[in-house]
Structure 1
Amino acid sequence: MSPTVVITGASAGIGRATARLYGRRGANVVLVARGEGGLRAAADEVAALGGRPLVQPADVADPAQVEAVAEVAEKEFGPIDVWINCAFSTVFAPFEEITAEEFKRVTEVTYLGFVNGTRSALKRMLPRDRGTIVQVGSALGERSIPLQSAYCGAKHAINGFTSSLRTELLHRGSNVHVTVAQMPAVNTPQFDWVRTRLSKHPMPVPPIYQPEVAARGVAYAADHPRRKQYYVGATTLATVWANRFVPALLDRYLARTGFDSQQTDRIPPAGQDNLFEPVDRERAADHGAHGAFDDSSHARSWQATLARHPAATAVGAGVAALGAVGTIRRLAS
């Protein structure tokens, strides 16, 4: 029997690549996002790859819309097996240049959207005593950087919320699992449609990975949800280690480098951003999974590959430790 998987933020980026992956598995894939253009294109891809798509336009910041998605999904496909929270929004700007309305919107989508999805999933999974929830997190939920205060705050909140929920599930002996897949910098279309007040075009902090690397990490976390979190990309793990051992040094390093490393030499994007309204209302506006940084993005991650093989975990941890040492040395230089 084909599994039923709900993916929020499925119209582009990591969510889109994850939808394709589950399409190849022949899954029932419920595609959730605001932009119908991206959703329809994603549905075509899922169907072409062998899956069964269901398009559900919704704003995850609205719990009623999320609940309606869950109801339709189970009516169409039966019990939800995996719920993947991936939708987000952000603003690139110094904190004092982000309005209260903008900060609230980022929090409602990027944090409360995960809470809303988790609530609707649990409402159905707990009575059946089975199911898996995957939160698509970020290295920035472990270590904040400048110019993304709203996003970093939301990603930190997801970690705290999920840890609390996990202990509640353990207390009741539930067979419902929740895990977090912590992501590195990923080449997604968000950098072309994000709201920004930077003088140059925003970009992910290198090294950058392709969305397919992230999608494989998400699917692996869903397949093996007993671990509380998975780190995708060596830089994610090295950043976490460096933050644990030398947080003050990392603060100073990011204060010195974090502004320039998030901007290209190009002028910032002009036109509509997606903070309050989707930019892909029409089918022709589909942005796909990849952003503008294909030439500088990695299609593979040795760390993520090692993490999928338990026998190699110790080796991966050792190499990550060496990476953290290298990071620390760069901070001190």
Structure 2
Amino acid sequence: MRGRPAPRVAVITGASAGVGRATARLLARRGMRIALLARGGAGLRGAAEDVRAGGGVALPIETDVSEYAQVEAAAERATSELGPIDLWINDAFASVFAPFGEIGPEEFRRVTEVCYLGYVYGTRVALDRMRTRRAGTIVQVGSALAYRSIPLQSAYCGAKHAIVGFTEALRCELLHDRSPVRVTMVHLPAVNTPQFDWVLSRLRNRARPVPPIYQPEIAARAIVYAADHPGRREYWVGASTVGTILANRCVPGLLDRYLARAGYSGQQTAQSADRDRPANLWHPVDDGSGADPGAHGSFDAHARTRSPLLWLSRYRGPLAAGLLSAGTVAGVLLRTARRHRR
């Protein structure tokens, strides 16, 4: 009798919290060997415990993805201790919530280095190893903001747009080379992660995700599904994501004016911001004696646990998902027009 195949090896950046943490838990159920890359020690320890409890093998590696040498060293260690890398998931990010004029040049550079160059570096070290073996999958965790930017997040939106441009160029090169390595993108809606409790913010009130909000497990399921089916260029999670993107393509000027009116208040709660709370732009808030942030943020009461679009795309094909998205687009256009007339 043949033995069971050895567990596959995955690397997840931004694995200590939020979507990366939820994805690690899901992959652990498959008995996978997972290298967990992040800066925060407490979150990494918690993520490693989650993976082991789920039946996987964990290798936590403190890594700043904005430093290519650290990403290369992490990939080398993962290969040496876990085996050849089959799956690389780029998910690490940082951001600043503020009008563009209130973001310092060094802060803008830092966001770009983490959110964009971190993906470039991760993709590079993964490809260097996957091309040699002629096997492997890379998943870029993107955002609806890669196609429809919003105010107060110019650095983050710019980085997400850049990831799309970079990935599309790379995909063409892989096709030209007839490479079996696959790269795909998963664009997420607003997700209930700890980021809103630690992101650097200069807003008057506490930052919040723009509804509808989804739980990180929804995003994790989409990422794992994309890893299993990397033949598609990209996956969109949440009908609202598709609707917003298509509405932007249909009536961009109208959406610009609507976001200029509603985009500021829509990203803030009624609660005043705590100016003294720590932020993780330069240093992780869960370093040293910091608390493990986990996967969920502070908006459990408002977050959805299901995504009809994701379910339809998986089990009923793209046609049904397209019909749902078309209905969402119509709703977004109608609501936007009504609010603009007020």
Counterpart Cα distance in 2 of 1:211 and 1:104: 27
User: 1:84: which partner in 2?
Assistant: 89
Distance 1:247 1:22 in 2: 38
5+ unaligned residues in a row in structure 2: which ranges?
Answer: 1-5
269-278 or 119-128, which deviates more: 269-278
Match of 2:334 in 1: 329
Greater displacement, 51-60 / 236-245: 236-245
Q: Which position in structure 1 is the counterpart of 2:3?
A: none
Partners of 1:226 and 1:196 in 2: CA distance = 38
Alignment check: 8 A CA contact 2:313 2:320 kept: no
| Partner residue of 1:281 out of 262, 277, 287 | 287
- Residue identity opposite 1:108 in structure 2: E
Q: Which amino acid aligns with 2:10?
A: V
Deviations 1:23-54 (A, max 9, x none): 11110011000001100011001001100000
Structure-2 residue corresponding to 1:18: 23
The answer as to 2:282 corresponding to 1:272 is no
1:174 aligned partner:
179
Secondary structure in 2 aligned to 1:201?
A: strand
Q: How is 1:42-57 mapped onto 2 (pairs within 5 angstroms)?
A: 42-57=47-62
CA shift for structure 1 position 319: 1.3
| Offset, 1:283 | 5.9
- Deviation readout 1:276-318 (Å, 9 max, x if unpaired): 0000013651010000000000011111111112x43211101
Bigger drift between 262-271 and 299-308 goes to 262-271
Q: Aligned partners of 1:199, 1:290: CA distance in 2, in Å?
A: 23
Moved over 2 A (4+): none
Query: Which residue of structure 2 aligns with residue 188 of structure 1?
Result: 193
SS where residue 272 of structure 2 aligns?
coil
Query: Is the contact between residue 208 and residue 269 of structure 2 (CA under 8 Å) also seen in structure 1?
Result: yes
1:199, 1:113 → 2: CA distance? 30
Q: Does 1:211 align with 2:216?
A: yes
Q: TM-score, normalised by structure 1?
A: 0.98
Structure 1 counterpart of 2:231: 226
Matches within 5 A, 1:1-333: 1-269=6-274, 270-282=276-288, 285-309=291-315, 311-333=316-338
Any unmatched runs of 5+ in structure 1? Answer: none
1:3 positional shift: 0.8
- Give me the whole-angstrom Cα distance separating, in 2, the residues matched to 1:155 and 1:126: 25
Contact 2:29 2:55 survives alignment (8 Å): yes
Q: Distance in 2 between matches of 1:94 and 1:119?
A: 32
Q: What secondary structure sits across from 2:73 in the alignment?
A: helix
Deviates most, 236-245 or 67-76: 236-245
Amino acid at match of 2:97: F
Q: CA deviation at 1:168?
A: 0.1
SS of the residue corresponding to residue 285 of structure 1 reads: coil
1:127 deviates by 1.2
Give the RMSD, CA atoms, in angstroms.
0.8
Deviation at 1:256, TM superposition (A): 1.0
Work out the number of aligned pairs and report it: 332
Q: CA deviation at 1:157?
A: 0.2
Q: Deviations over 1:123-182 (max 9, x none)?
A: 000111110000000000010000000000000000000000000000000000000000
Corresponding residue SS for 1:108: helix
- Partner Cα separation in structure 1 for residue 222 and residue 153 of structure 2: 24
CA distance in 1: counterparts of 2:208 and 2:288, whole angstroms: 25
What SS is found at the alignment partner of 2:205?
A: coil
Q: CA deviation at 1:66?
A: 0.1
Q: Secondary structure at the match of 1:308?
A: helix
Q: How far 1:322 sits from its partner (Å)? A: 1.1
TM-score where L is the length of structure 2: 0.96
Aligned to 1:174, what secondary structure does the other structure show? coil
Opposite residue 120 of structure 2, the aligned amino acid is V
Residues 38 and 283 of structure 1 are in contact (CA less than 8 Å); yes or no, is this contact kept in structure 2? no
Structure 1: distance between partners of 2:258 and 2:247: 11
Give distance in 1, aligned partners of 2:38 and 2:46.
Answer: 12
Q: CA deviation at 1:271?
A: 2.0
Q: For the residues of structure 2 that align with 1:313 and 1:169, how far apart are their CA atoms?
A: 25
Letter of the 2:209 partner, please give it: P
SS at match of 2:16: coil
> Aligned with 1:180: secondary structure?
strand
Structure 2 Cα separation of the partners of residues 135 and 64 of structure 1: 20
How far apart, in 2, do the equivalents of 1:29 and 1:284 lie? 23
Spell out, residue by residue over 1:38-82, the C-alpha distance to the aligned partner (whole angstroms, 9 max, x if none): 000110010011000001000000000000000000001111000
> Alignment partner of 1:264: what SS?
strand
